[in-house]
Amino acid sequence: MRERRALLLAAPALLSACANPLSQPFPEKTFFVLEARRPQRLPPNPRGRVLQLRTVAAGPGAELRGIVTRLPGGQQRADFWNEFFAAPPALIQDQLRQWLADSGLFAAVVDQGTRATPSLALEPVLNALFADAAETPPVARVQMQTLTLGLDRTPPRVLAERQHDRRAPLPSLAPAAIVAGFNQALAAIFAEIEASFRGVA
């Protein structure tokens, strides 16, 4: 009788714990950064031109901080527990600026609003950044487009418009592996962007 009474008294507490999801421990969020460094760092070219790197714009969904995975069937999932430390376009902006500054092609690479007088401008757009689990094997995919402008005339003249689409194979769909794949794909795109300036800068 005492055991039955103890079970009856404990039942409401057990039911309450099961019914209230807030009483369950939540996993901790993990934050990532994008990092694509040029293999060799070269000094600025004193005879080079000044490049203005304009703000990296974001296509639909490319501004999400949660790591995005494209699933079979066309569905997409943003990971709430594994996010970028900042919005991907802002992270790419910093990495691309440093890559081009290390290329040795330019006298300086500056952001908008600086006092320097640039003669070239680069307008990048991040169109997509996702892990594609619909492919076999899965890949990290980065899609960007860039517009290069000559600022030596008014209005500025379009020198080049390019599309960049790079994939990196993934050993798994673990968040750290996906981010490493993004970094690899970004490095390939940055190398393409750098190459497009040779003979222009």
State the CATH number of the domain containing residue 134: 3.40.50.10610
Q: Which letter does DSSP use for residue 61 in this model?
A: T
Tell me if 78 sits within 8 A of 67, measured CB to CB.
yes
* Rg, Å, the chain Cα set: 24
State which amino acid sits at residue 22.
L
Average pLDDT over residues 142-148: 98
**Is residue 29 one of the residues assigned to a domain?**
no
Confidence of residue 23 (pLDDT cuts 50, 70, 90): low
**Is residue 18 one of the residues assigned to a domain?**
no
Q: What is the pLDDT of residue 199?
A: 75
**Is residue 7 one of the residues assigned to a domain?**
no
**Is residue 2 one of the residues assigned to a domain?**
no
Give percent of the chain with pLDDT exceeding 70.
Answer: 87
pTM of the model: 0.85
State the Cα torsion 102-107-111-116 to the nearest 10°: 160
Task: Please provide residue 49's backbone torsions phi and psi, each rounded to the nearest 5 degrees.
Answer: -95, 165
**Is residue 46 one of the residues assigned to a domain?**
yes
pLDDT at 21 over 90: no
Average pLDDT over residues 172-201: 95
State which amino acid sits at residue 92.
I
Which ranges of 43-174 does DSSP label H, i.e. alpha helix? 88-101
Task: Please provide residue 23's backbone torsions phi and psi, each rounded to the nearest 5 degrees.
Answer: -80, -10
Strand partners, 67: 79
**Is residue 180 one of the residues assigned to a domain?**
yes
**Is residue 24 one of the residues assigned to a domain?**
no
Segments forming the whole domain that contains residue 113 = 42-197
Coil vs helix vs strand at 180: helix
The number of distinct structural domains making up the chain is 1
**Is residue 21 one of the residues assigned to a domain?**
no
